[in-house]
Structure 1
Amino acid sequence: MKDLAICIGLGVALYLCPHPAGVTPKAWKLLAIFTTTIAGIITTPLPLGAVAMLGLGGAMLTKTLTFAEAFSAFATEIPWLIAIAYWLAGGFIKSGLGNRIAYSMVAAFGKTTLGLTYSLVMGEAVLSPAIPSVAARAGGIFFPLAKALCLACGSDPDKGTAKKMGAYVMKTCFQTTTVSSAMFITAMAANPLAVNLAAAEGINISWGLWAMAGLVPGLICLTTVPLILYALYPPETKDTPDAPAAAKKELEKLGPMSRDEKITALAFAITVGLWIGGASLGVNSVAAATVGLTILLVTGVISWKECLNNNAAWDTLTWFAALIAMAAYLNKFGFIPWFSSSVVNIVGGLGLTWQPAFGIILVLYFYSHYFFASGAAHIGAMYTAFLAVAQACGTPGMLAALALGQVSNLMGCLTTYGIGSAPPYFGAGYVPQGDWLKLGFIMSVYYLAVWVGCGLTVWRAIGIW
């Protein structure tokens, strides 16, 4: 109750402060409620879903949001995609296919936890250009695989063994999804939005140019992030020289693939195929995931009761949708445009040369993501304004457009709600909220250093600016 009172007190204090000129009372009230909810998400005086429902309830009781507005995000794609990914993961593990693949990976790479982690990281990066939804790619494919791998190696948060290897694996796999998403236009659903907004300003970014710009800093981060987190957040089990032999014995015990494993493999193959090529058929990511889930339900691999009992799925659906809704209406009520224009005016009036001015713009754009539960919402609200002021300060247009577009993915590393890959990895329960946020901030500094330092140097060498 003390933590809950502090969160509410923070919101009340913010609401009682005079709202700045240009911010409507309704927008300021919603900011106070949103801040209270975020504080509750961080301090967890109640389960996350309960905190989110309190936030929505407060928004409706104060008539800041109508019922339709408060629950609008429950009809959007990403929260449901993440929930369905949890249910697919249940079938992946229950059928035994997860154990089979996990043991195969241990047999091939299992002498060290680091080797296992690199195999997951690089596998996700290889698929990233072909699957344009980071939530689908991370939540639907690599999260269930990572979880099955951790459970197979005896790391289970329900048994108090989260730090044996699972905490490190989950955090590392999540962090690198933001990097792979930044490397290709087709690796994240919101990237084409940035490209279109840049084109509206006369800056045309091709798929190849974006990939060329992201390749070197991306590969540096994919290679080094597992090592950095290995030092900052080490697994208790590092060397497992006997694991490959033990895994081979377990594979022998499993014998040939069972009926449920074959069905699960088919369901995943169809789902992944639709995620890769569904856009040309008009099939969105949720529809593709529903096809796989339907196969598992109809064939009895999993039951609907098991889906209903998956508390993590429903909890994540609730709190993530609530944050998306509140963040969206902060934009609609004018707070985000006001914040964006204020930053533009301040930076533009400093009279700096373009290099330090653009550095400030990039940092402000990056860390303002604490206000957002969607990369697309952030890009839609702030990308054009920040691109315009960067150019007004003298920043080369292509440089500004590419840098802002690629960090629009990297900034998802900050929180448990900032990008679609965060909720499933965090919801697995391996990494405490405090560790998640602390490590996210540390990695954010590293990403900016790599992209601004090495990235801009390479971009200069290849003629982008």
Structure 2
Amino acid sequence: MKFAQKPIVRIAIFCIATVIGVIITLAAPPEGYTVELMRFLGIFVWMIICMVFTVAPDWLVLLVALVACVLLKVNTFSTIFGQFAGSTVWNIIVLSAFVNSMASTGLFKRIALKILTFFKPTYNGQVLAIMTSSTALTPLVPGEISKLGIMSPMSCSVSRASGYADHSKPAAGLFTASFVPIYIGSLAFMSGTPTVYMLLGYIGDHAAKFTWVFWAGACILWFVIILVLFYFFITRYYKPAEDSEVASSEVTAKEQYEALGPMSKGEKLSLVVLAVCLALWTTEAIHGISGLYVSIGAFAVVTIAGLFTNRDFGTRIPWLVVFLAGFILGILTLCSTTGFTNWVGGIITPILGPLASNIYIMVPIICISAYILRSFVVSQNTTTIIIYSAFAPIVLTAGGNPWFVVFCAYASTCVWNVKFTSVAYIQAEAFAGGFIEHKDVIPSSIAFMVINLIAMLASIPLWQLMGLA
């Protein structure tokens, strides 16, 4: 929250959280549970309070919480921090390094510009072209910021070349067309964002069945519905007074594409490596080679070819995401080993059980809870942890797969109603060069809340067929 940026407020909240945490830690454990549960519960409550009120960065709060668990002997250091040796963390490191090295060649910008040249230069055509280009990049680049860095300036160029005034509804519509498929759609593919691997870490052994194709299959209906409904929303709500042909936008795309010149050696190599990776990722169920090992092989190739250097190791790997993933997985490990999950399930199931026993009721509750929390909770991770801690025990107690809980929760945190809670939106606006501002796209965030809920509900039968709900 904004007010928590004042040092005196942060210190006060820290002290209050610490007192509450100590009281819980010293309390007698419930019958059938150990003192380790109470120690973890006290630390967990302290952690949530500090994260909700942004007393310190999420990574620091999580690190302090995990170290406190080691010092209080909640579990061993190797168990608590052992997730850094797991596949989730290494998938994030290797996949990000591999694909970000290819992005530096300009290949993805070339692909996006080429797609733009195929569509009619009407407003509807522009929206469809930008959405198609953004969607094409979604599974290719692991990370929203890199993709937004390509498409946000492009939507600005198309808007201004078409004569749409900055901050006008048509301009905001073109920005939304570039933003939504990337920011939201990246969750639909394991190669779309490192966050996917972090979400898989939430569900433990249930993650074993997820290959690139299986994850995409679980998310594809949700993603397609979002794309289709957003296209209709943008072309209706944001459309200009007259949707006549605007030849200049088509010329702009062609001119930018031609200005790139012939493909460089780096682009050609990247294209071949990417094609091989996509083929291996999508056929993992046939050949049995883990996507992690495919990514490592691809990373080795682009590094040997000189597309990735020692300096890039520090700049092209999202180390903040890596550490956040490892820390969050450590917390989730403790939720299991201390009995926290079973204890919460025993408390919440009698309260929410009657409502949550029906997935068509539980999913809207999860989505709406995320929308509300994100109005004042800055961190998507904090919101997801809170919701998962509340609802996953109910699903696990019933013998179900908690995947849909964490997916619905995190996807629903992607709202941008409040600017300061959406880092991706802030970055996209900066990339856009000033042709839109937050108030111009608040309607699109509200539309997302409705469309996302529709897409989630429509996906439930598919999830049930796949054994995910």
Q: Report the TM-score, using the length of structure 1 for normalisation.
A: 0.63
Partner in structure 2 of residue 318 of structure 1: 323
- For residue 268 of structure 1, the aligned residue among 274, 288, 297 is 274
- For residue 107 of structure 1, the aligned residue among 117, 128, 131 is 117
- For residue 408 of structure 2, the aligned residue among 384, 407, 410 is 410
Between stretches 257-266 and 84-93, larger displacement belongs to 84-93
After TM superposition, list the pairs within 5 Å mapping 1:73-92 onto structure 2.
Answer: 73-92=83-102
Distance between the aligned counterparts of 1:19 and 1:109, measured in 2?
A: 67
Distance between the aligned counterparts of 2:351 and 2:277, measured in 1?
A: 47
| Pair 1:119 & 2:117 matched | no
What SS does the corresponding residue of 1:108 show, helix, strand or coil? coil
Between stretches 93-102 and 187-196, larger displacement belongs to 187-196
Partner in structure 1 of residue 291 of structure 2: 285
Query: Which one-letter code corresponds to 2:395 in the other structure?
Result: Y
- For residue 150 of structure 2, the aligned residue among 148, 151, 154 is 148
> Shift of the alpha carbon at 1:263?
1.2
> Shift of the alpha carbon at 1:265?
1.2
Partner in structure 2 of residue 391 of structure 1: none
Partner in structure 2 of residue 174 of structure 1: 183
Distance between the aligned counterparts of 1:178 and 1:340, measured in 2?
A: 27
Going from structure 1 to structure 2, the CA distance change for 1:93 and 1:218 (only over 3 Å counts) comes to: closer
Partner in structure 1 of residue 105 of structure 2: 95
Going from structure 1 to structure 2, the CA distance change for 1:169 and 1:216 (only over 3 Å counts) comes to: closer
Distance between the aligned counterparts of 1:229 and 1:80, measured in 2?
A: 38
Going from structure 1 to structure 2, the CA distance change for 1:170 and 1:291 (only over 3 Å counts) comes to: farther
The answer to whether the 8 Å contact 1:37/1:51 transfers is yes
The answer to whether the 8 Å contact 2:383/2:413 transfers is no
Deviations 1:95-117 (A, max 9, x none): 12122123223333596674355
Partner in structure 1 of residue 162 of structure 2: none
Q: Percent identity?
A: 15
> Shift of the alpha carbon at 1:94?
1.4
| Pair 1:61 & 2:71 matched | yes
> Shift of the alpha carbon at 1:37?
4.0
Going from structure 1 to structure 2, the CA distance change for 1:294 and 1:336 (only over 3 Å counts) comes to: same
- For residue 26 of structure 1, the aligned residue among 30, 36, 54 is 36
Going from structure 1 to structure 2, the CA distance change for 1:2 and 1:100 (only over 3 Å counts) comes to: farther
Partner in structure 2 of residue 385 of structure 1: 397
Deviations 1:231-257 (A, max 9, x none): 9999xxxx9974432221122222111
Distance between the aligned counterparts of 1:45 and 1:355, measured in 2?
A: 33
After TM superposition, list the pairs within 5 Å mapping 1:180-199 onto structure 2.
Answer: none
Query: Which one-letter code corresponds to 1:304 in the other structure?
Result: N
The answer to whether the 8 Å contact 1:179/1:218 transfers is yes
Distance between the aligned counterparts of 2:348 and 2:62, measured in 1?
A: 29
Partner in structure 1 of residue 315 of structure 2: 309
The answer to whether the 8 Å contact 1:365/1:386 transfers is no
How many positions carry a matched residue from both structures? 394
What SS does the corresponding residue of 2:318 show, helix, strand or coil? helix
> Shift of the alpha carbon at 1:262?
0.9
The answer to whether the 8 Å contact 1:104/1:251 transfers is yes
Going from structure 1 to structure 2, the CA distance change for 1:30 and 1:216 (only over 3 Å counts) comes to: same
Distance between the aligned counterparts of 1:19 and 1:443, measured in 2?
A: 45
What SS does the corresponding residue of 2:306 show, helix, strand or coil? coil
After TM superposition, list the pairs within 5 Å mapping 1:124-139 onto structure 2.
Answer: 137=139
Partner in structure 2 of residue 397 of structure 1: none
> Shift of the alpha carbon at 1:300?
0.2
- For residue 296 of structure 1, the aligned residue among 277, 302, 305 is 302
- For residue 251 of structure 2, the aligned residue among 217, 225, 245 is 245
What SS does the corresponding residue of 1:81 show, helix, strand or coil? helix
Query: Which one-letter code corresponds to 1:21 in the other structure?
Result: P
The answer to whether the 8 Å contact 1:414/1:441 transfers is no
Partner in structure 2 of residue 257 of structure 1: 263
Distance between the aligned counterparts of 1:115 and 1:48, measured in 2?
A: 37
Deviations 1:104-159 (A, max 9, x none): 2333359667435531575489xxxxxxxxxxx4753887544433355579xxxx
What SS does the corresponding residue of 1:290 show, helix, strand or coil? helix
Q: Which runs of 5+ in 1 are unaligned?
A: 126-136, 156-160, 182-186, 198-206, 389-400, 417-424, 460-465
Distance between the aligned counterparts of 2:46 and 2:366, measured in 1?
A: 22
- For residue 81 of structure 2, the aligned residue among 53, 56, 71 is 71
CA RMSD of aligned residues (A): 5.4
What SS does the corresponding residue of 2:40 show, helix, strand or coil? helix
Distance between the aligned counterparts of 2:15 and 2:407, measured in 1?
A: 33
Query: Which one-letter code corresponds to 1:53 in the other structure?
Result: L
After TM superposition, list the pairs within 5 Å mapping 1:331-346 onto structure 2.
Answer: 331-346=336-351
Going from structure 1 to structure 2, the CA distance change for 1:445 and 1:306 (only over 3 Å counts) comes to: same
Between stretches 371-380 and 38-47, larger displacement belongs to 371-380
The answer to whether the 8 Å contact 2:29/2:35 transfers is no
After TM superposition, list the pairs within 5 Å mapping 1:215-226 onto structure 2.
Answer: 219-225=224-230
